[in-house]
């Protein structure tokens, strides 16, 4: 199973872009990169996922390097409510039954 | 919006008690999951189910069992609760097609004394 490596913590100023890196150097060709976040005392929340191409939705952008060994989640204008633990996950298993292996994530603190 | 609900936010039980944690989802998802979350260990998969009456062991199934009698409901059972099962328990569901993202419930914080 592919593993991910993330920094333990990061700070970001409110209103600035938050760029959260993730290393997944052993990812295989058919594995997706997923990002979730968990705000204190809540269940994890899906943010975005991608395979090869960069992706954008209403919450964030996902930039995946050409060799797919790393990716960056970008929150374009971070707010205080974005303070959370962010998990980068490589999805294992086949079909929709594959479970998500959550690592320790990056604790993002957005400061005023 | 997808709703995943869990029967309790907080639960306190005694050692040796049988504990039922209930999870219900309202989006007709085929797949459901039970995780536990502990400080420093992240989320760990206990069991999952991809259909009614079907179940698969996750990474840490010991001391737990599950039941999926109806598609919308997935129950986690602690046959004889022990103190090392004190944890946050999270339920999730996902459809069998589409983006496959998991939708999580709010969690149940279980304390076994």
Main-chain phi, psi angles of A51, to 5 degrees: -110, -60
What's the confidence (pLDDT) of residue B113?
97
What's the confidence (pLDDT) of residue B34?
95
Q: Using a CB-CB distance cutoff of 8 angstroms, which residues of chain B are in contact with residue A91?
A: 100
Q: Which of B102, B104, B105, B106 to mutate to test the interface with A (most CBs of A within 10 A)?
A: B102
* Residues of B (66-95) whose Cβ lies below 8 Å from A: 90, 92, 94-95
Contact B102 A101 (CB under 8 A): no
Beta partners for B6?
Answer: B23
Alpha carbon distance A11, A18 (integer Å): 8
Helix (H, G, I), strand (E, B) or coil at A61: strand
For chain B, give the percent of residues with pLDDT over 90: 73
Pairing of strands A9-13, A106-111: parallel
Beta partners for B32?
Answer: B49, B93
What's the confidence (pLDDT) of residue A31?
85
Give A20-79 pLDDT, tens digit per residue: 999 999 898 888 899 999 998 889 999 999 988 899 999 999 999 999 999 999 999 999
What's the confidence (pLDDT) of residue A30?
82
Residue of chain A whose alpha carbon sits nearest to that of B105: A43
Q: Which of A43, A45, A88 to mutate to test the interface with B (most CBs of B within 10 A)?
A: A43
Kind and range of the H or E run holding B42? strand B42-49
Please check the confidence at residue B107 and state whether its pLDDT lies above 80: yes
Contact B107 A98 (CB under 8 A): no
What's the confidence (pLDDT) of residue A97?
54
Residue of chain A whose alpha carbon sits nearest to that of B4: A43
Q: Using a CB-CB distance cutoff of 8 angstroms, which residues of chain A are in contact with residue B46?
A: none
- Per residue, the 3-state secondary structure of A58-109, as one string, reads CCCEEEECCCCCEEEEEECCCCHHHCEEEEEEECCCCHHHCCCCCCCCEEEE
């Amino acid at each position: 199973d592919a593993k991910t490596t993330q920094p333990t913590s990061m700070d970001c100023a409110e209103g600035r872009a938050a760029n959260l890196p993730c290393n997944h150097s052993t990812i295989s060709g058919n594995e997706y990169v997923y990002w979730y976040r968990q705000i204190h005392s809540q269940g994890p929340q899906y943010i975005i996922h991608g395979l090869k191409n960069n992706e954008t939705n209403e919450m964030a952008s996902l930039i995946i390097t050409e060799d797919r060994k790393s990716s960056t989640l970008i929150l374009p204008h971070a707010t205080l409510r974005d303070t959370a633990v962010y998990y980068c996950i490589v999805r294992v298993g086949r079909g929709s039954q594959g479970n998500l292996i959550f690592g320790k994530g990056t604790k993002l603190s957005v400061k005023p | 919006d997808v709703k995943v609900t869990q029967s309790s936010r907080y639960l306190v039980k005694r050692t040796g008690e049988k504990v039922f944690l209930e999870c219900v989802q309202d989006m007709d998802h085929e797949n459901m999951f039970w995780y536990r979350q502990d400080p420093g260990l992240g989320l760990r998969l206990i069991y999952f189910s991809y259909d009614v009456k079907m179940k698969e062991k996750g990474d840490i199934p010991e001391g737990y069992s599950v039941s999926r009698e109806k598609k919308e409901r997935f129950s986690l059972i602690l046959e004889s609760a022990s103190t090392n099962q004190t944890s946050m328990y999270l339920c999730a569901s996902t459809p069998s097609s589409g983006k496959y993202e998991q939708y999580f419930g709010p969690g149940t914080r279980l304390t076994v004394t």
